[in-house]
Amino acid sequence: MPQCGAISILPDVRKEAATCSACGHSYNPHKGSATASSFTCPTCGSTHRIVEVVRQIGHVPEHRLYALDYKCARHGRHYKTQTQEDLDLFTKAKQQLQTEDNLIPKAEIPDGYNTRQILNFNYRYWSDCFNERQLYALSTLIKGILGLPPEVSDKNTKEFLILLLSSCLEFNNMFCSFKGRGTGAVRHMFSHHVLSPEKVPLENNLWGTPESSGSFSTLYYSKLRKAKEWCLRPVERIINGGKEKELIAPPLDKPIEARFAHSWVELVNTDANAIVRCASSTSLVYIPDQQVDAVITDPPYFDNVNYSELADFFYAWLGLVLKDYPEFQGENTRHEEEAIVNLTQGKTPDFYQDMLFRVFREAHRVLKDEGALVFTFHHATDDAWIRVFKAIQDAGFYCAAAWPIQGEMSVGVPLLGKKNAIEHDMILVCRKWPPPNLSFSRWDQVFTRILVETDSLSQRTL
Ligand SMILES: C[S@@+](CC[C@H](N)C(=O)[O-])C[C@H]1O[C@@H](n2cnc3c(N)ncnc32)[C@H](O)[C@@H]1O
């Protein structure tokens, strides 16, 4: 592979010496010509920073198809070097992209903390994150969904299929890679909540086969259908002594089905059970004072994830498809009240604290006196926690309980090297000030409780 481009199947990948079966070249399969940020020219031996070379070439890095991972019904799973036929198929898709009337996002990538990670590599439009075949396949699928006749698909079903397509986007772009070489699973582009160009991208099959990962046909079963089936028969999972059990108990003893209201009056006076709004939680004007039993929320984790910067990747496509919906009229998903710390966008820790305070103050207004504000939070720095706690206090709450749970980071992405990585999420239960006794209201007491609970949870997990 390093010399002639052929695929060598190695008998033992742990060995540091290998010989190419096609050209006889000897090499160490553990040593490539590139590290995370630099590469060494195999001809002259000089080393360069990848980003600097890409900046000089002035366009998005190009990729070369060098191998296919396939499964044959008779011989099982294999890799093969690309043939002329494979290259011709790609060329055909490229031509169809140019000659047919396609639905491709035209949105530019705005400047930001995460977006600079790819702007630095000359990505200028969200469509630059895909190769031509991916763009053509996605456009064909979107047109197929939008063109379904009414007797096959009503508006609701089309929205579901668009939701599924949105899920496929993160598994079908040039930032995807192997989840584990040899497993066939696709690591989607947001596994680390960043925008990081991939040196060896994995182009997935968008429609998929029964064994594909991250494809339209498989995600239909594993995500969309499974979620709807759960809504029809909701269960709680109980894990006891390592064994998992399903529990059906109130309120999860009947199907979860939303019947939407357009106003508070309609919600309380009809059999409607939900209102959905796409707006900042700093203003819940449609809810009168002291009407709500619980506010359950999940605010951003300080500076950990820049939601709108990453969500724009999806919005670029959804804005095309859902252009008649009022929620999709904006140029992108940035919002002046997005509660994050992002210095590139001018959002400081003070701004974050003030936003949380305004969200919690509004929660305080709509909550009944005996109501609870419940939310999850995690962060590795004291400063983030202190600001959350101050926002809670300033809004008129005290923290009544703190429950640690296994967080997304512990299973979702490798912890090592991730900025502010932390293994546990904390569920904080806040009630209206004053507390019945003042024993558990000060920040240092909450902090001690967090440490004690986290420590005992780690010991239980060991
Ligand atoms: C931790 S995430 C929630 C993730 C969600 N629970 C889930 O599982 O997908 C925080 C969310 O808060 C949203 N957000 C930030 N500022 C907000 C505001 N002022 N009002 C409402 N939502 C806001 C972000 O856009 C982001 O989607």
Mutation choice for ligand 1 from 333, 336, 338, CB with most ligand atoms inside 8 A: 338
Element (H, E) at 219: helix 216-219
Same domain for 242 and 211, yes or no, is yes
Q: Which of 224, 257, 290 is the last residue of a domain?
A: 257
| 29 within domain boundaries | no
Per-residue pLDDT, 120? 96
Number of domains in the chain: 2
Residue numbers of the chain with a pLDDT score lower than 70 = 1, 181-182, 408-422, 437-446, 454-462
Element (H, E) at 55: helix 50-57
Same domain for 101 and 163, yes or no, is yes
pLDDT in tens, 438-457: 655 566 666 777 777 766 65
- Confidence (pTM): 0.89
Contact 438, 398 (CB under 8 A): no
Same domain for 189 and 274, yes or no, is no
Q: How far is the CA of 89 from the centre of ligand 1 (A)?
A: 41
What DSSP character marks residue 344?
Answer: G
Per-residue pLDDT, 408? 65
The dihedral region occupied by 45, where left means phi > 0, alpha psi between -120 and 50, and beta the remainder, is left
| 70 within domain boundaries | no
Continuous H helices in 322-376: 349-366
Q: How far is the CA of 297 from the centre of ligand 1 (A)?
A: 8
Same domain for 314 and 457, yes or no, is yes
User: In whole angstroms, what is the distance from residue 209 CA to residue 134 CA?
Assistant: 16
User: In whole angstroms, what is the distance from residue 447 CA to residue 461 CA?
Assistant: 21
Per-residue pLDDT, 181? 63
Q: Which of 242, 257, 272 is the last residue of a domain?
A: 257
Same domain for 176 and 296, yes or no, is no
Atom 9 in ligand 1: residue holding the nearest Cα? 298
User: In whole angstroms, what is the distance from residue 48 CA to residue 50 CA?
Assistant: 6
- Half-sphere exposure for 397 (CA within 13 Å, toward CB): 32
Q: How far is the CA of 294 from the centre of ligand 1 (A)?
A: 17
CATH number at residue 266: 3.40.50
Two structure tokens written together for 85 = 């036929």
pLDDT in tens, 96-122: 999 989 999 999 999 999 999 999 999
Same domain for 355 and 433, yes or no, is yes
What DSSP character marks residue 340?
Answer: -
Give CA angle at 187 (42, 302), nearest 5°: 105
SS3 content of the chain, % helix, strand, coil (to 5): 35, 15, 50
Q: How far is the CA of 298 from the centre of ligand 1 (A)?
A: 6
| 8 within domain boundaries | no
Per-residue pLDDT, 424? 82
Beta bridge pairs of residue 27: 18
| 55 within domain boundaries | no
Terminal Cα-to-Cα distance of the chain (whole angstroms)? 42
pLDDT in tens, 237-254: 887 777 888 888 888 889
Q: What percent of the chain has pLDDT over 90?
A: 68
Two structure tokens written together for 209 = 């086969």
| 17 within domain boundaries | no
Same domain for 291 and 409, yes or no, is yes
Contact 194, 114 (CB under 8 A): yes
Per-residue pLDDT, 122? 97
Per-residue pLDDT, 77? 83
Per-residue pLDDT, 416? 39
Atom 7 in ligand 1: residue holding the nearest Cα? 298
Same domain for 242 and 376, yes or no, is no
| 69 within domain boundaries | no
Same domain for 457 and 397, yes or no, is yes
| 5 within domain boundaries | no
Q: Which of 236, 257, 278 is the last residue of a domain?
A: 257
| 84 within domain boundaries | yes
User: In whole angstroms, what is the distance from residue 4 CA to residue 414 CA?
Assistant: 34
User: Any residues with CB less than 8 A from the CB of 389 and at least 6 apart, and which?
Assistant: 399, 443, 446
Q: How far is the CA of 334 from the centre of ligand 1 (A)?
A: 12
Same domain for 350 and 319, yes or no, is yes
Same domain for 338 and 436, yes or no, is yes
User: In whole angstroms, what is the distance from residue 402 CA to residue 81 CA?
Assistant: 55
Ligand 1 nearest atom to the CA of residue 299, by list position: 10
Q: How far is the CA of 188 from the centre of ligand 1 (A)?
A: 21
456: containing domain: 262-461
Mutation choice for ligand 1 from 280, 309, 333, CB with most ligand atoms inside 8 A: 280
The dihedral region occupied by 9, where left means phi > 0, alpha psi between -120 and 50, and beta the remainder, is beta
DSSP per-residue string spanning 82-151: --HHHHHHHHHHHHHHHHS------PBPPP-TTTHHHHTTT--BGGGGS-HHHHHHHHHHHHHHHT--TT
Same domain for 249 and 305, yes or no, is no
